[in-house]
């Protein structure tokens, strides 16, 4: 493929950017009362308002042309139909098949994988029903009260953020916990809270080789053996993995192992049995609703025209800011406490997918790629970093995520919450001029000389971009749709940047280096020669660990 920066469509955008970069959204709003109507879009129960962006209808047309020139439509079809689009690992990318609620077959190496997926969903249903209905008991005959997921990265962040998001839907007597880090503080904290007789540990690891997860799983196994010696502690383990034999060797009974497949990327695996903690928490019917929401977003993404396609528009807006405005970061600010961990989920989904610098053809790319995702829930974020959004020289596009109805909300609280999100987006747009700031100060009775000086500090430039994603309510269905929306946004950007969004070689080097360092941390004499910094720090740590 031709380098994207050499495409006429890219050049047209560069010229267009020079023409409109200094223009002001406030003028566009003043001159066009239909801007919201033109630049908002509803897909099922999610509204996207993208009118507060530094773009005109012409920008959108040019961006859509870039998408077409990048063969986005063909790439979308290749993605959904199981072509090996993860080229460096020679695999298809089929998380969309996991939530395919239609009768369409999906083929991998000549096999329709839909029956495998259906079998797994049925196995999940039987297991989750039995645990939730208390017919599946621990080894001493007691029902399960605590479920602990033991996994990291994609084997953690999906269920972790979704269980929090759907807390209002969870079983009243089953609590979910998550052990991801290898830090003793985390595992100790959880093990202090749970009773071994009534706890189910799910070891979630696509590869069953991840050192953090296996270290934690082995510590838990020893803890269970200690507490339930000779009583059949294996009943307290389930596993989700592609490596069944490794899980069996570890000690998980074969019938308590749920499959995964290589055509599912870790960070896209919440739709598989990696979602087991979520299914246990909300029940299988609601888990299927979660899948249905995602599937319907998939249908929209696959079939809607690019100019009316929500994931495509979000993806193109990101490219507009990253590549043409040199704005490399993207803030995610949900005005919804249940979505507190959604940003962490997106950080892996987006940055592990598109934090790349090599094109599909193996050449270095000369443009910025994946956004730096950050954020916190509002209103907390307002009292923390919004100062920088409003008055620094950084241009930071924001996605505000608002939820119309939260289950059991108090009307006044909800109004303040949503009103706050709307006023932040409005403030980013409108800002405050010097003249406005000065008049306010004079009205307050500040002396003219002082007011003239102070007014400079109160100026807020405005003309700063944001999207509003407005969910009708935070149901399993809408959460599924929201996650799928962002997954596809990531896909669109990777497709246009011509990178492989589905490998993650960058995280491998640290994994390769760890064993040697670990051996040297344990060995009184270093075996390896390191750079002076690493060497010095290893010595320092060893001194710190010496018994005083």
Active site residues: 352, 383, 511
166 binds ligand F6P (CB under 6 A): no
Q: Cα-atom radius of gyration of the chain, to the nearest Å?
A: 26
Q: Which of 96, 210, 406, 430 binds ligand F6P (CB under 6 A)?
A: 210
The three-state secondary structure class of 334 is strand
CA distance 27 to 183: 53
420 binds ligand F6P (CB under 6 A): no
Site string for ligand F6P, 12-51 (x = CB under 6 A): ----------------------------------------
Q: Which two tokens stand for residue 62?
A: 């040019």
Q: In angstroms, what is the minimal distance from the CB of 147 to ligand F6P?
A: 18
Closest CB to ligand F6P among residues 379, 517: 517
Contacting range for ligand F6P; rule: CB under 6 A; set: 55-63, 152-160, 291-299, 364-372: 152-160
Closest CB to ligand F6P among residues 237, 320: 237
467 touches 52 (CB < 8 A): yes
Give bridge partners of residue 64 from the DSSP assignment.
Answer: none
Closest CB to ligand F6P among residues 210, 475: 210
154 binds ligand F6P (CB under 6 A): yes
Contacting range for ligand F6P; rule: CB under 6 A; set: 151-159, 223-231, 281-289, 459-467: 151-159
309 binds ligand F6P (CB under 6 A): no
CA distance 350 to 488: 10
- Helices marked H in 133-243 — which ranges? 157-165, 184-193, 211-227
- DSSP per residue over 46-58, as a string? EEEE--SSS--HH
Q: Which of 82, 153, 275, 293 binds ligand F6P (CB under 6 A)?
A: 153
Contacting range for ligand F6P; rule: CB under 6 A; set: 133-141, 202-210, 328-336, 455-463: 202-210
Q: Which two tokens stand for residue 339?
A: 């979505």
164 binds ligand F6P (CB under 6 A): no
213 binds ligand F6P (CB under 6 A): yes
Contacting range for ligand F6P; rule: CB under 6 A; set: 193-201, 207-215, 339-347, 520-528: 207-215
Show Cβ contacts of residue 471 under 8 Å, excluding neighbours closer than 6 positions. Answer: 45, 46, 401, 402, 403, 404, 478, 482
479-508: which residues touch ligand F6P (CB under 6 A)?
504, 507
Residue 328 CB neighbour total at 10 angstroms: 16
146 touches 198 (CB < 8 A): yes
Pairing between strand 46-49 and 466-473? antiparallel
149 binds ligand F6P (CB under 6 A): no
475 binds ligand F6P (CB under 6 A): no
353 binds ligand F6P (CB under 6 A): no
CA distances (Å), 145 to each of 77, 103, 179, 196, 522, in order?
44, 37, 16, 10, 38
Q: Which two tokens stand for residue 46?
A: 């999610």
Q: Which of 44, 87, 207, 391 binds ligand F6P (CB under 6 A)?
A: 207
List contacts with ligand F6P (CB under 6 A): 152-155, 205-207, 210, 213, 266-267, 352, 504, 507
């Amino acid at each position: 493929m031709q380098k994207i920066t050499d495409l006429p469509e890219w050049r047209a955008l560069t010229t267009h950017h020079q023409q409109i970069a200094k223009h002001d959204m406030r003028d566009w709003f003043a001159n066009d009362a239909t801007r919201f109507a033109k630049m908002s879009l509803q897909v099922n129960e999610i509204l996207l308002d993208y009118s507060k962006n530094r773009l005109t209808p012409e920008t959108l047309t040019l961006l859509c042309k870039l998408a077409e020139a990048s063969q986005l439509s063909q790439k979308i079809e290749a993605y959904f139909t199981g072509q090996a689009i993860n080229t460096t690992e020679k695999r298809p990318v089929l998380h969309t098949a996991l939530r395919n609620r239609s009768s369409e077959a999906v083929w991998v190496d000549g096999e329709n994988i839909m029956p495998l997926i259906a079998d797994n969903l049925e196995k999940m249903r039987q297991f989750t029903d039995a645990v939730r209905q208390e017919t599946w008991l621990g080894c001493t005959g007691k029902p399960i009260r605590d479920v602990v997921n033991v996994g990291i990265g994609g084997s953690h962040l999906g269920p972790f953020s979704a269980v929090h998001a759907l807390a209002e839907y969870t079983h009243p007597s089953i609590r979910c916990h998550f052990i991801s880090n290898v830090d003793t503080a985390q595992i100790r904290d959880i093990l202090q809270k749970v009773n071994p007789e009534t706890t189910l540990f799910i070891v979630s690891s696509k590869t069953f080789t991840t050192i953090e997860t296996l270290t934690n799983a082995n510590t838990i196994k020893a803890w269970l053996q200690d507490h339930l010696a000779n009583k059949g502690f294996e009943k307290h383990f389930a596993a989700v993995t592609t490596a069944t034999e490794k899980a069996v060797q570890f000690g998980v009974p074969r019938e308590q192992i749920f499959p995964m497949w290589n055509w599912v990327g870790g960070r896209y695996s919440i739709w598989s049995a990696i979602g087991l903690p979520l299914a246990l928490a909300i029940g299988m019917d609601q888990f299927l609703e979660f899948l249905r929401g995602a599937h319907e977003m998939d249908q929209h993404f696959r079939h809607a025209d690019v100019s009316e396609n929500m994931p495509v528009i979000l993806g193109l807006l990101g490219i507009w800011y990253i590549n043409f405005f040199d704005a490399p970061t993207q803030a995610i600010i949900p005005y919804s406490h249940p979505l507190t961990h959604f940003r962490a989920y997106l950080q892996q989904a987006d940055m592990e997918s598109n934090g790349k610098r090599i094109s599909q053809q193996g050449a270095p790319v000369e443009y910025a790629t994946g956004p730096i995702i950050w954020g916190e829930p509002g209103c907390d974020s307002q009292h923390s970093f919004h100062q920088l959004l409003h008055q620094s020289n950084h241009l930071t596009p924001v996605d505000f995520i608002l939820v119309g109805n939260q289950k059991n909300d108090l009307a006044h609280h909800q109004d303040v919450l949503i009103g706050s999100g709307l006023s932040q987006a409005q403030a980013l747009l409108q800002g405050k001029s010097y003249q406005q700031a000065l008049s306010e100060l004079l009205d307050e009775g500040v002396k003219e000389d002082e007011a003239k000086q102070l007014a400079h500090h109160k100026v807020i430039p405005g003309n700063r971009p944001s999207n509003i994603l407005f969910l009708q309510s935070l149901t399993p269905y809408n959460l599924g749709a929201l996650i799928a929306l962002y997954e596809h946004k990531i896909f669109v950007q990777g497709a246009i940047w011509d990178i492989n969004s589905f490998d993650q070689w960058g995280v491998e080097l640290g994994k390769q280096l760890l064993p040697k360092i670990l051996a040297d941390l344990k060995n009184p004499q270093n075996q390896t020669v390191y750079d002076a910094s690493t060497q010095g720090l290893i010595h320092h740590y060893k001194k710190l660990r010496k018994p005083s």
